[in-house]
Amino acid sequence: MATYRAYRVDKRRHIQSGQWLDAPNDAEAKAQASELCDEGAPLIELWQAARLVDEIECDDD
């Protein structure tokens, strides 16, 4: 199991909040991070240590 950090980022690229995630691989971590879109952030940044894994764009809905 690897540890990831998911950050809710606003339109000006400022971090609104962050959350630790535990996942066996990047794909599962991305799936978990995409669920954070429900919190109203336009973008989720997913990191593992100093490595940017993905930037997940949230729908405007």
Domain boundaries, the chain: 2-57
Give the whole-angstrom CA distance, residue 2 versus residue 22: 6
pLDDT at res. 5: 98
Report the run of H or E that residue 22 belongs to, with start and end: strand 15-23
Q: Residue holding tokens 């593992």? A: 48
Burial class (CB in 10 A: 0-12, 13-18, 19+), 25: exposed
Q: Residue holding tokens 């997913």? A: 46
pLDDT tens for the 61 residues of the chain, in order: 999 999 999 989 999 999 999 999 999 999 999 999 876 689 999 999 999 999 999 986 5
pLDDT at res. 47: 98
SS3 content of the chain, % helix, strand, coil (to 5): 25, 50, 30
